[in-house]
Amino acid sequence: MPGYYAHSENNRNEKHGLSKHLHQTAKFAESFACHETYKPIFKMAGLLHDLGKYQLAFQRYLENGGKRGSVPHASWGAGYARILKVLEASIAIDGHHKGLPDKSAWKSDTEPYLRGEVSEFEDITRTFLNDTGVNKAEIKPPDLLSITEPFRREVFTRCLFSALTDGDWLSTEEHFEQDTFKMRIGVPLPVDDMIDKLEKEFSKKPKEGEINQLRNNTRNQALQKTDMPCGFYSLTLPTGMGKTLTSMAWALRHAKKNDLKRIIIVLPYINIIDQTAQTLKTIFGEEWVLEHHSGYNEVDRNSRDVAESCSAIEKRKRLACENWDYPIIVTTTVQFFESLFSNRPSQCRKIHNIAEAVVIFDEVQAIPKEVILPTVQILKDVQAVMNTSFLFCTATQPAFEKRQGFDGINTISPLIDDPTVLYEKTKRVEYRLLNDLKPIDYNGLLEVVIRAGDAALVIFNTKKAALEFYNCTKNLGDWEKKYHLSTAMCPSHRKAVIKNIRDDLEAEKKILVVSTQLIEAGVDFDFPVMFRAIAPLEAVIQSAGRCNREGKLGELGGKVFLFKLQDGGMPDKTYAACAGHAEDLIKRNIDQLHGHTIFNEYYAQVIQLYVDPDKYNINEGRERFDFETVNDGYRIIQNITKGLYIYNYSNESRQLLHSLEYKEFLSRDDYRRMQAYTVQVYEHFIFQNRQMCKTMDQGFMVWYGNYDSQTGISVMPIEADKLVV
């Protein structure tokens, strides 16, 4: 044949030479290696990944066309790598189209090559060597790779797979979409400039008063520990002590010291992402901060109106969502971990850019306890293999350390030497037990809330309880205004209500807010009085951060009443067990709630007593190199939900739907605007009320049923808790 090709003609009528593609992919993959000793394997994987395209059958397929995937080619390079006894490269190559396989499937794919049962194999490899000019020494097994521990070898395979996938797709993109490829020119983290901008931001903040002095002293103490090597760190601060900017100040200097490439901020809730990303954009500039979470920019990159409507910065951000080649990334816990545990090429493509980064976990206590052991294990492996630093930030620091019965992290270095002083000086609330935690009904609770005689926040564990209590208050005139908050309300509705609440609190109006636990993180209310249904300890402490938040009422000026609701439900069994353990601790000594160590101790106890920290046997799957099984088993959110677009929320929601319903493609901006009017619901809700739901041609679902202007989506409001997330 006159030549061998990897891909068909582009819009310049050029075919993609196979030798060129292999060398280009190898060069990309090698450049993505975070350690010199990794480079030979990364390069080998790039050179071998499309070895099977030297088959005459594949070249005829390119020439004549045919069904996509009708001439399999990945197993050829995987077989060669297995013959060379480089397991990691073989698995990565085998999965570079279909996804990382389970070990048994990989063996099945490559066994024929090992046994010499593929008749053309020697001819194909000889053709490959001649056409590419590759010396056998370039693909010999590396001598220097010293990773032997199974978990670390498994995460090394993930990193290699990520680099190979990204390199392969970049080479292909350069052939077919040269203009798009040129937009990807990576920009390094401008660390000195960002440090200067952040310092200017700190200089604008007030310095008077004890709280502000504590914030400044805390930041200065953390900054004294930026020169330490890559590892695990913790920033344990009471609520309201400015951990977002303190953690960023530390991360920038730590990145400079260790020559790290980017900062990734991982948050549990989308409402906190919006808030954090906007803060960072205001300080550093829109062009330096990438937000990446589901529903925000997970859209078809080939949509024409996307390409035409985006600015150059937005196009670069859209592309960077594919591989995280960006200076600062703000993402969700779901996006981060489900990519890290994934076997799919599109999700794994970004993993190699977690290497040589500072990863900040904010509100780290929100990671589900049922997957905490494999979560901590993979972080240990990433840190060791990929030279990444992790910073755990929260007011309630979980027990992630290694101890008897829990194979956690050996050393987590605190950035604050003695948080005890901070927690003592920032005691803002007095905790009290309502009715000695004997069960109380709605009417009894209502009497106590009315007697409090002030603006009050009441938090329940379920939407059903919050809704029932709110309905009990509807005809009462004891407050100037009453508000309800839950995830049965669409984000636009919740945002408007939260703004009204803040305005009323600022004006010192006597208001009542009835809410679920959605306000425990990222919603900075400041109430003089708060009532909280007994809950897991992290929920109790985080809730208390909404009371006397700014310390205006003095030490212990805020009042937090803990109550136990008669016949009060819980979201699930684990939540109920943890709430019961918290209740026992609190009854023994309520003053423990002011200490900074109580949550760490409680967390270790509930993991030991009530939770299987690897409920889905993820570590067992990782140890066996069963990548597909691990992908299917690891979930941050176990219950499957779907978004319902709320047609009847407002004139704006109706007008937006009418402007989109006949568009062939929806842009990222379209999806972003839709998200403001979307409620996540269980599939059972959709099934039961399918007559009120309609699936649009673009794939999203619309709710044409009831939407209450105060409490949100509803069919049978009291039962909504069983159906709505």
Tens of pLDDT, residues 388-407? 999 999 878 888 999 888 99
Distance CA(453)–CA(323), nearest Å, equals 54
Q: Would you say residue 84 has pLDDT above 90?
A: yes
**Percentage of residues of the chain with pLDDT beyond 70:** 95
Domain with CATH 1.10.3210 in the chain: 5-182
In the sheet with 456-459, reading across from the earlier edge strand, the strands are 429-433, 558-563, 529-533, 456-459, 511-515, 481-485
CB 569 within 8 A of CB 579: no
Q: Would you say residue 716 has pLDDT above 60?
A: no
Cα 449 to Cα 36, 350, 498, 513: the distances in Å are: 64, 50, 20, 11
**pLDDT tens, residue by residue, 85-126:** 999 999 999 999 999 999 999 999 999 999 999 989 999 999
According to CATH, the topology of domain 5-182 is Hypothetical protein af1432 (1.10.3210)
* pLDDT attached to residue 143: 66
Distance CA(718)–CA(308), nearest Å, equals 46
* pLDDT attached to residue 223: 96
* pLDDT attached to residue 274: 79
Q: Would you say residue 300 has pLDDT above 80?
A: no
Distance CA(490)–CA(678), nearest Å, equals 5
Distance CA(517)–CA(23), nearest Å, equals 53
Length of the chain: 725
**Percentage of residues of the chain with pLDDT beyond 90:** 70
Q: What is the DSSP string of 163-229?
A: HHHHHHHHHHHHHH-HHHHHTT------HHHHHHHHHHHHHHS---SHHHHHHHHHHHHHHTTTTSP
Q: Would you say residue 690 has pLDDT above 60?
A: yes
CB 680 within 8 A of CB 642: yes
Q: Would you say residue 594 has pLDDT above 50?
A: yes
> Which one is the CATH code of 424-609: 3.40.50.300, 3.90.25.10, 3.40.640.10, 3.60.21.10?
3.40.50.300
pTM over 0.85: yes
At which residue do the structure tokens 């920009």 appear?
187
What average pLDDT is seen over the chain? 90
Q: Would you say residue 298 has pLDDT above 50?
A: no
Domain with CATH 3.40.50.300 in the chain: 228-406, 424-609
Q: Please state which of the ranges 254-268, 351-365, 476-490, 633-647 shows the lowest mean pLDDT.
A: 633-647
**pLDDT tens, residue by residue, 490-508:** 999 999 999 999 999 999 9
Q: In terms of pLDDT, which residue wins out, 277 or 641? A: 277
* pLDDT attached to residue 717: 44
Q: In terms of pLDDT, which residue wins out, 600 or 308? A: 600
At 137, is the pLDDT very low, low, confident or very high (cuts 50, 70, 90)? Answer: confident
Q: Would you say residue 723 has pLDDT above 60?
A: no
At 424, is the pLDDT very low, low, confident or very high (cuts 50, 70, 90)? Answer: confident
Amino acid, res. 232: F
Q: Does domain 228-406 match CATH 3.40.50.1980?
A: no
